[in-house]
Structure 1
Amino acid sequence: MTATLLAAVAAGCGGASDEVGGGSNEAAAREGGGVKLSLVAYAVPKVGFDLVIPAFNETPEGKGVTFSQSYGASGDQSRKVESGLPTDIVNFSVEPDVTRLVKSGQVDETWNQGEHKGIPFGSVVTIVTRKGNPKGIKTWDDLLEPGIEVVTPNPFSSGSAKWNLLAPYAEKSRGGQDPKAGLAYLEKLIGEHIKVQPKSGREATETFLQGTGDVLLSYENEALFAERNGEDVEHTNPPVTFKIENPVAVLNTSKHKEQAQAFVDFLYTKEGQTKWAEAGFRPVDEAVAQQFASDFPAPEKLWTIDDLGGWGKVNDELFDPEKGSVAKIYDEATG
């Protein structure tokens, strides 16, 4: 099944575009007045949008609306939109990639003031191993055992990589109370165990499936996608892990803001939430989450970005390319 999954990987990465929605595009354009929405997203949610978009097209608001889709590393995608890539809707891995567009004036400051703060779905950081988990890797400490090679993306292009590093950092620092302990762990992980740095979460999955590494750090939904496609992998959610929140926003430069907002609103409906859950993403609607509780077990402890002081603090202190502590660790590890 690897060839099948890698084909899907290739289709979903590197800014690849697909036209989706309303049956044939020609018929849909006639029916929907020629409205085509441009969706620019991080690398892995295509499997979710493949379910959500057809469901939206069945609603009065979505009838005849077509979509062009682009997927890639979250930070790279955000910078492309900032540079002028025509876009109606963005879905990024981390909030700072939306904040960049707020600062540029392309997204309203109020984008995250709704009930769910602009987050229609999410996930948790998980540990993916070869099937049978031959090296018994189940906790963050297990990653530091001698000889263990870890695959995780580069945090300066990928939002997934930031989540992956924040999970053990939060545990070791006790939610940011002891930053030195968290950074000491990351120094060992990055310096001794991370040998490759793919650009995105999806490219990291591809690298792992091709045989590199003993363990992949990833979104839970990405692990479920691989397992459901018959790959020889399995995932373990550590007892202590991190809540992933993937924001969605409408650009105020959109020429079709009404249709774009209608699509974003649909993501929060019961039907939209159900489709995200079916695709392996954790829904934010509590009733839908309860229906899928067996698919999404609750960790013993789930740290959040708010526990660490929010993205403004975390991005500046850890991931700023010039002064961030994690950036310095990567600089030292790579020379």
Structure 2
Amino acid sequence: MTGLVALTACSAQGVDATAASGDGAGGTTLSVAGFSVLEAANEPVFEGFAATEEGKDVAITTSYGASGDQSRAVEGGLDADLVHFSLEPDIQRLVDAGLVEDTWKDNETKGIVTSSVVSFVVRDGNPLGIKGWDDLVKPGVEIVTPNPASSGSAKWNVLAAWGHALQAGGTDADAEAFVKKFLENTIALPGSAREATTAFSEGNGDVLISYENEAILAIENGEPFDYIVPDDTLLIENPAAVTTDAPVEAQALFDYLLTPEAQAAYAQSGFRPVVDGVELPEIPGANDPADPFPTPGTLLTVDEDFGGWAEANSRFFDEEEGIITRLQVETGTDG
């Protein structure tokens, strides 16, 4: 394996900042804890909420970081009225801690607020001609992907790689061998999806495994990248929940996040809408700005192809016995 770039440490707890919103004068201040790639995407969404009757006197403070780190921080006392994480187990940790009600999925989207798909980000012009998963495990290809120990994005990525091997007709043993080759080609495991993008933009690696929306946003911001949505990939579903002691305004904010207006704002940052009736704008960073979210040939889901997150998290990412945990040790990518 190529020497692992020294980017494997988990990211620190997210930095607090005040989001663009109502000034809160005489009103309420809400605390939002989110996974890293939401930082830019939430700004126009919160501005839209501030323009509503429910949001006009509400100020919002934010904390962003790797999804798992953020979840553990809230469990440990970080103030949060609404949490928006990369994947379900990071919400479930707070349910187990009594900080989120176990009914958090009882809405029309089952708690999902944003979605994307696992994609490949490559250098401008795609100099290695990467088209699909099998290209990633060729000798000499250098991969950047976040660390599963801290990042929800990383878990989506490696499950997508495992799913590719299975849907191509392979066995579990074939999938394990494929993911091992994938990890052997991985030269950097930053703490979060946003840190992974930064590492790639600084010149590390040939291909970044990432959220589609992160690729779109980077290109919109002028990065000299291309991206590929492979023919078979995994649907990324990002959940959110209101915490148990949050004021009523937190529920109003959550409800706003699922409006067509808010979903259109998220789409501008590259997220796929999770509700119907969203009027999509042109997305400048997308491969086709007028048709930014084409349906992949095979779209795997955690619920249908991995038995749901409770099963998948235990089987693959358990700190002692998880398959991916073991493979990271074997390949020296465990940090």
TM more than 0.5 = yes
Q: 1:82 to 1:183 in 2, by over 3 A?
A: same
Whole-angstrom CA distance in 2 between matches of 1:84 and 1:176: 46
1:303 to 300, 304, 307: 300
Contact 1:13/1:203, CA 8 A, preserved across alignment: no
Question: By how many angstroms is 1:20 displaced?
Answer: 2.3
2:138 to 122, 142, 145: 145
Deviating above 4 A after TM superposition, structure 1's stretches of 4 or more consecutive aligned residues are: 289-293
Contact 1:13/1:43, CA 8 A, preserved across alignment: no
Q: TM-score, normalised by structure 2?
A: 0.90
SS of equivalent residue, structure 1 residue 39? strand
Structure 2 counterpart of 1:193: 185
Q: TM-score, normalised by structure 1?
A: 0.90
Structure 1 residues 56-114: Cα deviation after superposition (integer angstroms, max 9, x where no partner): 00100001211111110100100000011111010100100000000001000000111
Contact 1:17/1:71, CA 8 A, preserved across alignment: yes
Counting only pairs closer than 5 Å after superposition, residues 1-335 of structure 1 correspond to structure 2 as 14-22=13-21, 28-30=23-25, 33-174=26-167, 178-190=171-183, 192-254=184-246, 256=247, 258-288=248-278, 294-307=291-304, 308-334=306-332
SS of equivalent residue, structure 1 residue 76? helix
Whole-angstrom CA distance in 1 between matches of 2:50 and 2:171: 49
Which structure 1 residue ranges, 5 or more long, are not aligned? Answer: 1-11
Structure 2 counterpart of 1:5: none
The total of aligned residue pairs comes to 315
Contact 2:118/2:157, CA 8 A, preserved across alignment: yes
1:294 corresponds to which letter in structure 2? D
**Sequence identity (%):** 46
1:209 corresponds to which letter in structure 2? S
Q: 1:137 to 1:100 in 2, by over 3 A?
A: same
Whole-angstrom CA distance in 2 between matches of 1:273 and 1:221: 13
> What is the RMSD computed on CA atoms of the aligned residues?
1.8
Q: 1:175 to 1:272 in 2, by over 3 A?
A: farther
Question: By how many angstroms is 1:253 displaced?
Answer: 2.4
Which structure 2 residue ranges, 5 or more long, are not aligned? Answer: 1-10, 283-289
Question: By how many angstroms is 1:179 displaced?
Answer: 2.1
Whole-angstrom CA distance in 2 between matches of 1:57 and 1:186: 45
SS of equivalent residue, structure 1 residue 120? strand
**Structure number having the greater helix percentage:** 1
2:31 corresponds to which letter in structure 1? S
Whole-angstrom CA distance in 1 between matches of 2:323 and 2:86: 21
